[in-house]
Chain A
Amino acid sequence: MIKDLMDIAGRAVRPFKRRAYGRTFVCPVCHLELAFADVDGNGLAVCPVCGAVISLEAPYGHAVPVVVDMEINRAQPKLRLHPMASHLPVGLFPVACLGAGVLLVASLLAPAAWPTALIERATLLVLALAVGLSPLTIAAGVSDWRRRYGGRPYRIIRLKLAFSACFVVLGGLAVALHASGAVFSPATGLIAAASPLELLAAVAYFATLAVNLVVVGTLGHVGGNLVFGR
């Protein structure tokens, strides 16, 4: 079941990945997927995860990576700020989504007993924290990339940077919509939807959250690959 879902997800992102990475090959030591474009002018690529220095050729289309050296003595995991800092947005954002989801359900079913006003305030706080702290996480990531990976322009890092920007922009939009009071009524905490404009704001808000959940999930997944290999 889970495997089927992962298969479906894998098939869905494949064309997108193609576009982001171009042709790829797999590090023969840690199995991280690297792009042909990561190979530098000397025909070498250094695997960001395991430090394998890989010489790449593709005779008749078959990628044949050869490990010619290892980069060891790099900045060590315990000094890596980004994997720790990343838990702020990656951990908080889904909680905010959960809060918004509860409010959506409450608005549809209208159970009087739920403390919706409180949930609405808490959701906004968590959402603001997740988005507000993410620049710190990104800064830590850039710093780790420079220290541990020598600032090499890996495709996977570019993908992370692009997705991080996406997260901040969409997250900022969601916070703005939420804080404006157009989505949830400040008094009850339920979805206002009194005018078409407010309905539109609510739809935009939930769509933004959904897309950003995918974005942050991808960031977490790719980041995990960078720490643990595959």
Chain B
Amino acid sequence: MIDFSFSPAQQGLREQAKAFTEEWVAPNAARHDRTGEFPKEICREAFRRGFMNTSVPKEYGGRGLAVLDHCLVTEEICTGCSGIGTAIDGNGLSQAPVILAGTPEQKARFLAPMTEELMFSAYAVTEPEAGSDVARVKTTAVKVGSDYVLNGVKWWITNGSVASWYFVLARVEDRQTGFIVPADSAGVVRGPKEINLGQHASNTVRVTFEDVKVPEAFRLGAEGDGFKIAMETFNHTRPGIAAGANGITKAALNIALSYAKRRRTFDKKLISNQGISFKLAEMMTKLDAARFLAYKAAWLIDNGTDNAREASEAKWFASDVAMEAAIACAQILGGYGYTNEMPAEKLVRDAKIYQIYEGASEIQKMIVVAKLMRTKVVE
């Protein structure tokens, strides 16, 4: 049985997220894009309305939303501004390892407070010399008494300068191990905000760990479990990333559609030219396809089924669709698509990151291939 309809609860959630986006996110998108200021007040409102920390289980004060529900919220918010959306959603990426592998004490200590007041956390895995190839991570954790001492540099950490704690992947000798590191530990140094192509509202920084003492109680799982935890996290978060990209596609489609219906050239409306209208038809079709991939990947994991392949498919496909749609939107707007007085050029800049973070598109395809290698015949 296949059912493509949203439940009343899901429909309600979408509408709430849409109202929040129209009231808070979209009107502030251009300002944060220009100033690069972190959207703390918007996050506070998102927190108040329950759009942050959505996946924290109910017993720790969260909403315990399903991944699919989270996708619906993220798609709406990212239609307003994916940079602000990333700032709001950043917590989810770092909370997932704790939800997946944390002890009840760790969850009570690090997740529960985040549902009581506005706080941030960050996922610190990438290093300057190790991004896609996570196995190369070099940060060391040396056991000294009942503590570990961490040394290393983490790079491009989203929400890195506002986080209260980090999920850090480090190696204990040769065993990749996950740690929760409070940001106020001595020896944690945060770099300045990086100036990126797009998503200027999102905060990306370097975080350096210099002789940082972490109690054994903050280790996630056993020594050597880190890589698995860090990768499993993505099965939960990649559908949401795909949904964020779909938000960009939706924004691009709506802006282009609205423009093409009203702009006149050669005595007729732009949209009456097939050269333009087919672009819109392609955007719509690809948006539908990308959504179904994202929803299916989310639905699988919500039902306890392995979704590694589907999550990767959804992520790379939605990212590519968003990039194409943003460029098509800019093209349809002509000169207005290139000026920063109109929303199209921001979409072009914002869309690019989806093909890079949380595993670049090539890496997603490698994951799909790995699954194919173990498949005799595709059903």
Binding site for B on A (CB under 8 A): 28-31, 50-53, 67-70, 72-73, 76-78, 229-230
Q: Are A50 and B151 touching (Cβ within 8 A)?
A: no
Secondary structure class of chain A's binding surface, majority of residues = loop
Write the chain A residue with the least CB distance to B187: A76
Chain A residues near B151 (CB-CB < 8 A): 72-73
> How far, in angstroms, from A229 to B194 measured CA to CA in the complex?
12
Q: Are A52 and B140 touching (Cβ within 8 A)?
A: no
Q: Are A29 and B206 touching (Cβ within 8 A)?
A: yes
Central interface residue in A67, A78, A230, by most chain B CB within 10 Å = A67
Do A50 and B129 contact each other (CB < 8 Å), given the known contacts A72-B138, A229-B191?
no
Q: Are B191 and A69 touching (Cβ within 8 A)?
A: no
Chain A residues near B138 (CB-CB < 8 A): 69-70, 72
Write the chain B residue with the least CB distance to A29: B128
Contact with A along B170-196 (1 / 0, CB 8 A): 000000000000000001000110000
- Nearest 7 interchain pairs by C-beta: A67-B128, A29-B128, A72-B151, A76-B210, A73-B151, A72-B152, A67-B129
> How far, in angstroms, from A123 to B279 measured CA to CA in the complex?
76
> How far, in angstroms, from A69 to B153 measured CA to CA in the complex?
11
> How far, in angstroms, from A102 to B321 measured CA to CA in the complex?
68
B127 sits at the interface (CB 8 A) = yes
Write the chain A residue with the least CB distance to B208: A50
- Chain B contributes a number of interface residues (CB within 8 A of A) equal to 17
Checking B192, B206, B211 against A50 with a beta-carbon cut-off of 8 angstroms, the contacting residue is B206
B155 sits at the interface (CB 8 A) = yes
Checking A68, A73, A77, A230 against B140 with a beta-carbon cut-off of 8 angstroms, the contacting residue is A73
B139 sits at the interface (CB 8 A) = yes
Q: Are B129 and A30 touching (Cβ within 8 A)?
A: no
> How far, in angstroms, from A167 to B140 measured CA to CA in the complex?
41
Smallest distance from the beta carbon of B209 to chain A beta carbons, Å? 9
Smallest distance from the beta carbon of B318 to chain A beta carbons, Å? 28
Write the chain A residue with the least CB distance to B150: A72
Q: Beyond the given A70-B129, A76-B210, A230-B192, could you list 18 further A-B residue pairs with CB under 8 A, ordered by the A residue number?
A: A29-B128, A29-B153, A31-B192, A52-B129, A52-B153, A53-B129, A68-B129, A69-B129, A72-B139, A72-B140, A72-B151, A72-B152, A72-B153, A73-B140, A76-B187, A77-B210, A229-B191, A229-B192
Smallest distance from the beta carbon of A87 to chain B beta carbons, Å? 19
Do A50 and B153 contact each other (CB < 8 Å), given the known contacts A70-B138, A72-B138, A229-B191?
yes
Q: Are B210 and A70 touching (Cβ within 8 A)?
A: no
> How far, in angstroms, from A68 to B206 measured CA to CA in the complex?
17
> How far, in angstroms, from A126 to B107 measured CA to CA in the complex?
56
Q: Give the residues from 299 to 331 in chain B that come closer than 8 angstroms, CB to CB, to chain A.
A: none
> How far, in angstroms, from A28 to B195 measured CA to CA in the complex?
11
Checking B127, B191, B211 against A70 with a beta-carbon cut-off of 8 angstroms, the contacting residue is B127
Q: Are B210 and A29 touching (Cβ within 8 A)?
A: no
Chain B residues near A230 (CB-CB < 8 A): 192
Q: Are A70 and B152 touching (Cβ within 8 A)?
A: yes
Chain A residues near B210 (CB-CB < 8 A): 76-77
Smallest distance from the beta carbon of A72 to chain B beta carbons, Å? 5
Chain B residues near A31 (CB-CB < 8 A): 192
Chain A residues near B129 (CB-CB < 8 A): 52-53, 67-70
Chain B residues near A52 (CB-CB < 8 A): 128-129, 153
Write the chain A residue with the least CB distance to B210: A76
Contact with A along B141-154 (1 / 0, CB 8 A): 00000000001110
Smallest distance from the beta carbon of B160 to chain A beta carbons, Å? 13
Smallest distance from the beta carbon of B125 to chain A beta carbons, Å? 14
Give 6 CB contacts A-B under 8 Å: A50-B128, A52-B128, A69-B138, A72-B139, A73-B140, A73-B151
Smallest distance from the beta carbon of A127 to chain B beta carbons, Å? 35
> How far, in angstroms, from A68 to B155 measured CA to CA in the complex?
14
Write the chain A residue with the least CB distance to B130: A70
Smallest distance from the beta carbon of B163 to chain A beta carbons, Å? 19
Write the chain B residue with the least CB distance to A54: B128
Chain B residues near A229 (CB-CB < 8 A): 191-192
> How far, in angstroms, from A6 to B142 measured CA to CA in the complex?
44
Smallest distance from the beta carbon of B206 to chain A beta carbons, Å? 6
